[in-house]
Structure 1
């Protein structure tokens, strides 16, 4: 143990802060109760025990063993409708069953074919215990998380030179000093994020850091910028890859949109297979791109050395703008697009194998080192060869063509570039769902984003990203280059807030060497802020205004989601009275004063703390029943519903809706023939409406006695085929929708199955 503790220490003798051992867990959907709720639960349980002691033993004895121990081979569920014959459970420990089937598979030929296709594309389901095996090792994490970052060097130097060339070919000489400044920025931000991973070893994204150190709204602002960046990464990178394909094969140009959607669908399927499978699928193209560019460097430098490293003068280009500070800053901000995706490792720290933070820091170091080598090398080679941006060919293609005038190497570089551009979106598919996971954990995003699919991937987040990016791709006809100006604004907004938050973090905690650490993050924050302001100002008209509008709207949406979950939490939180007993049944004329909730704000007037209407009936002794059975005809379905309602041992009566008095008299005579075993109420509906009068009648009953729980038992016809449902009115569904807003009203159905 001591050896492990020493291994987890940093070189400066400090140890990363402790935290949960497995942040990305299937159990994240089921947070535990806090101490106050456990205390309330204990008191409510005592009241339950007192109430159940009054029941005779024969009333609580179960007619069968729920653990199915009396069966050597537990029976499988019967097949009806859309449920397939799958063995759902096997016996395990006492009072515990284990599901052996991963899901309910749709029956019929179409359902079985769909299930087989799903398994073919996504693979067999993975058990929750396999979540640790699904984590990434460094060799897999590097290509999976760096595809966006490394692919940006294919257009980052060109974006920088495209601004400088506006001041004429003489301004191209500034490319090397600006590239050097960008290298400093890359190293500074990379070093800053290494410290961020150290300080937040269980999740170090901009959202988490800014929320913790600057406040929730700053965290949401950073998250909004990243959300926009991830969506644009998918749509723009796919468009760039498809553009490279159609440039080589012009005959495919009319099929740009279908090809792009096919690529997005492939990325969706690959990521739904899980982290490990996606890594195996997408690792090779990234490594191929690195090898191809390094080969390009080696041959290009050898050719430059052959002529004494004498640069080739660029072709003369007329100046469109005067060379000034604004042009230099614009070139610097455009070249900074090469850094999009540098935060990917920080967001994915919990997805690494143990020790997570150490594996993530090592991967981040390699990523930044490779980025610096590729970016600086390409910029130097472009300068040596005197290349300028052209509309008909990218700078990387020009460089590869000059370096490899013959042989298959040019095609290799272009193929590797195309693949890595297409797969650059894979970084977004990894980080976007994890960002939504952290936001959903804090109730700023829908909680469905906490759910892990059957392959232990955040399926809902992956699908949401694919659908959103596909809509943008289709809306712009596959030509999304106009969205590129939004890149730097969104991502550097997140960078700036993250690094500023780290400065506050070190000042607050004051660990060893905190001043040096804070200085590193301050430098990173300042440089990122320069890029952010420059990009926002110079590219505002070109599209950066979209970020200025979209970020506040996303923040407001997240705050609205949080307010809903806060209200729901307040309603569902267990609470006890000051004397430790469960909340008493409120009198309908009483209006108890609100008590402060966890945030220090009073409850809504007229609602007891911790639940309002949901506090009614926390123990069996507090529940008073009245069962209502709507009956249209005295057939088998109605008699089964009446028998079920009476078997509950609670007061019950029936209600019949009739379109005219004559039909009501006829039904009462049938009721008398049956024996009038229950009280019958008749409602005349002269306008032939059914649901509205019945719902209003139940509502009036509830208003008369809010302390009585009304259980509406509705007969339900269940048919085998889906199209048969069109032949029935489905009254029970319509009535359930009409009554679900009434507190204290329970709607249940008694199914009657029709085989054909």
Structure 2
């Protein structure tokens, strides 16, 4: 098959996967309505209902079954924190309508390095979001079908690939795909909660949980704080709406604020409902069956409804990762715009999304799943720390903003952010002290990320300094041109290259490298016989190297002519019909091009000659 055909096949496959290219003018059509935004940006937060209560119970069981009643007050405390975060991020949305969330707030009010800490933490959090969501979704599937437990890593990787492709198709299309499963999940969980409450009220639950307020001998404040911090994993994803304001239809800030309120109300109701049912039903954590699975089993039995709930739970846990696929590329774009990440993250793909960010997110999250073997419990502490650091910095940044600007009702706003900052700071410290064995790598990774940001920024600043010109003093210098054409023999590709060179200037020289007297004599004789009107310089190579003698010759030409002429190295290159034929030939031209590109301030160009058989 020809290379052209191969490109066509690749192009058709790409179109099949991600759809037709979209015009830049179509970007307004990619903005989200409130209902679609709720599906895309809230799926992470809503899905945490599936494991938030479970994380509380796992910690409490260290003190025995009698301690599970503490899950109720702890769940209410988490609900209170959710309310504070919703109010706080609502203020952030109106204060920073261009989006960016914690990164922009911290950078604007606390300094660049603090902003980079918030931005780096969020990027890490979004990577972990994909890994945790797909791992948790796999857990839901293996709860219903235990025979698949050994294949959980493969299942998670397949879902990451699927989500990456869906995200590359554009945010509107991914929202359309997500809307039905998200709302189906919300309906299923509320149906489970209502049915469970009715069954409990009618005395249909044969369980005897410990009474609320019952004394537990070996409970400690440290354990309760640890359980509270674990339950706060249900709050991850709350910040995504404030990060992605530019994705909303106008008025973007009002639509984003309304979406945030809807998300908070739904999340709070579902989280408290699941916690109550888990307590009333006397549910305890099981490594091979999730808490939601046990509640559904106890409420409906292992019938059709149970498998529907497990199916939509697994689906929402998988699709929750799409929140990160929406937020990570946008945050990477903002960091790249500020010159702290590579410029490739500012490039929009065929479907108007920041496709490089989407692909990188998919690759990094897949690596995490493989490294942690799809173990959700090991990933969640890292996940929570990654989001509570930006929570704290965002609240602190807003406090500084209110104190500086003193807008209307600023004291009330300051109080809300102060309470939020102190609460999230305490939770962050609890995570650090109680789960240091799980989160210690964050303290190694985040400084490295910030160092990378600063190094990238330094490179861009140095590049700009060296490329900047004085508009009045710096003018183009008119020079002549000397073209050097390396030749390996007398062929059509050499003839075409010399013809092109002579069309530019008469100052053309061909250079041939010979390994012995016989080669040199034969080449000189053929050249004289051919007589193309170009002088031939013959170099001898005692060590059978073509590159080294050529480089010495170019050094000489550059030294003699650099002041008066532009030096151009014109490399003849033939292109084979089939890709596999290319490896049958020496790649001297490519090596010379690469070496010159890295070492010399000369013009390097290639003249291609296509073979047709």
TM over 0.5: yes
Q: Which has the higher contact order (CA 8 A, sep 6+)?
A: 2
Alpha carbons of 1:252 and 1:160: their partners in 2 closer, same or farther (altered >3 Å)? closer
Cα distance in structure 2, aligned partners of 1:81 and 1:211:
52
Separation of aligned partners in 1, 2:144 and 2:201: 31
- Map 1:649-688 → 2, pairs under 5 A: 649=505, 651-675=507-531, 677-688=533-544
SS state of the match for residue 625, structure 1? Answer: strand
TM-aligned CA distance change 1:374 to 1:429, over 3 Å: same
Q: Distance in 2 between matches of 1:337 and 1:380?
A: 18
In the alignment, which residue of structure 2 is the partner of 1:457? 353
1:734 aligns with 2:553: no
Instruction: Tell me if 1:526 matches 2:419.
Output: no
How far apart, in 2, do the equivalents of 1:216 and 1:321 lie? 49
Matches within 5 A, 1:20-31: none
* 1:744 and 2:601 correspond: yes
The question of 1:139 aligning with 2:60 is answered: no
Task: Decide whether the 8 Å contact of 2:568 with 2:605 is kept in 1.
Answer: yes
Task: Show the counterpart of 2:337.
Answer: 441
Choose 244-253 or 164-173, whichever is displaced more. Answer: 164-173
* Deviation at residue 274 of structure 1 after TM alignment: 0.8
Aligned length: 611
Distance 1:671-1:440 versus aligned 2 partners, 3 A rule: same
Q: 1:637 aligns with which of 493, 496, 512?
A: 493
Map of 1:272-311 to 2, 5 A cutoff? 272-306=168-202
1:646 aligns with 2:509: no
Partner of 1:694: 550
Partner of 1:420: 316
8 Å Cα contact 2:139-2:290 kept in structure 1: no
2:417 aligned with 1:561 = no
Q: Tell me: CA distance 1:320–1:464, structure 2 relative to 1, closer, same or farther (3 Å).
A: farther
Stretch deviating more after TM superposition (334-343 or 706-715) = 706-715
1:387 CA drift (Å): 3.3
Distance 1:640-1:320 versus aligned 2 partners, 3 A rule? farther
CA distance in 2, matches of 1:309, 1:754: 80
Which of residues 433, 444, 463 is equivalent to 1:549?
444
Matches within 5 A, 1:432-511: 432-511=328-407
Q: Which residue of 2 aligns with 1:82?
A: 3
8 Å CA contact retained: 2:207, 2:281: yes
> Alpha-carbon deviations, 1:275-325, whole Å to 9, x = none?
111111122111111111111222233344446999953499x99983222
Q: 2:603 aligns to what SS in structure 1? A: strand
Q: Encode CA deviations 1:73-132: one digit per residue, 9 max, x unaligned.
A: xxxxxxx9534xxxxxxxxxxxxxxxxxxxxxxx14xx4444333322222221111111
Question: Is the alpha carbon distance of 1:406 and 1:749 closer, same or farther for their aligned partners in structure 2, counting shifts above 3 Å?
Answer: closer
Worse-matched range after superposition: 565-574 or 318-327: 318-327
Would the alpha carbon gap of residues 172 and 246 (structure 1) be closer, same or farther in structure 2, given more than 3 Å must change? closer
Match of 2:145 in 1: 249
Residue ranges of structure 2 left out of the alignment (5+ in a row): none
Q: Distance in 2 between matches of 1:502 and 1:698?
A: 60
Match of 2:122 in 1: 226
- Determine whether 1:189 maps to 2:85: yes
Deviations 1:320-349 (A, max 9, x none): 983222112111101100001111111111
CA contact (8 A) 1:314 1:387 kept: no
Distance 1:304 1:319 in 2: 24
- Bigger drift between 695-704 and 208-217 goes to 695-704
Shift of 1:624: 3.5
- Between the aligned partners of 2:559 and 2:463, the Cα distance in structure 1 is 23
Q: Please name the residue that 1:198 is paired with.
A: 94
Match of 1:262 among 158, 177, 189: 158
Is 2:135–2:369's contact at 8 Å kept on the other side of the alignment? yes
Taking the aligned partners of 2:139 and 2:506, their CA distance within structure 1 comes to 71
Question: How far apart are the structure 1 equivalents of 2:585 and 2:170?
Answer: 42
Paired with 1:237 and 1:320, the residues of 2 have a C-alpha distance of 34
Q: Secondary structure of the equivalent of 2:341?
A: coil
Q: Cα deviations across residues 569-614 of structure 1 (Å, max 9, x unaligned)? A: 22223333xxx232xxxxxxxxxxxxxxxxxxxxxxxxxxxxxxxx
- Which residues in structure 2 correspond to 1:566-581 (within 5 Å)? 566-576=461-471, 580-581=472-473
Cα offset, 1:692, TM superposition: 2.3
CA distance in 1, matches of 2:465, 2:173: 41
User: Per-residue deviation at 1:432?
Assistant: 1.4
TM-score with structure 1 length normalisation? 0.76
Q: 8 Å contact 1:626–1:709 — kept in the other structure?
A: yes
Q: Partner of 1:740: helix, strand, or coil?
A: helix
SS of 1:484's equivalent in the other structure is helix
- Give the match's secondary structure for 2:3: coil
The answer on whether the counterparts of 2:140 and 2:290 sit within 8 Å (CA) in structure 1 is: no
The 1:406/1:736 distance shift into structure 2, 3 A limit, reads closer
Q: Matches of 2:530 and 2:51 in 1, distance apart?
A: 83
8 Å CA contact 2:520–2:538 kept in 1: the answer is yes
Q: 1:511: how far off?
A: 2.4
C-alpha deviations, 1:483-542, integer Å up to 9, x for none?
A: 22212211101111111111122233332222322222222111110110000110002x
Q: How far apart, in 2, do the equivalents of 1:637 and 1:418 lie? A: 60
| Residues in 1 aligned to 2:206 and 2:578: alpha-carbon distance in whole angstroms | 79
Tell me if structure 1 keeps the 8 A contact 2:44–2:236: yes
Take 2:64 and 2:547, find their aligned partners in 1: how far apart are those partners?
76
More off after superposition, 707-716 vs 384-393? 384-393
Mapped to 1, the partners of 2:217 and 2:352 lie a distance apart of: 53
Whole-angstrom distance in 2 between the partners of 1:396 and 1:429: 26
Aligned partner of 2:610 in structure 1 is 753
Q: Is 1:715 matched with 2:572?
A: yes
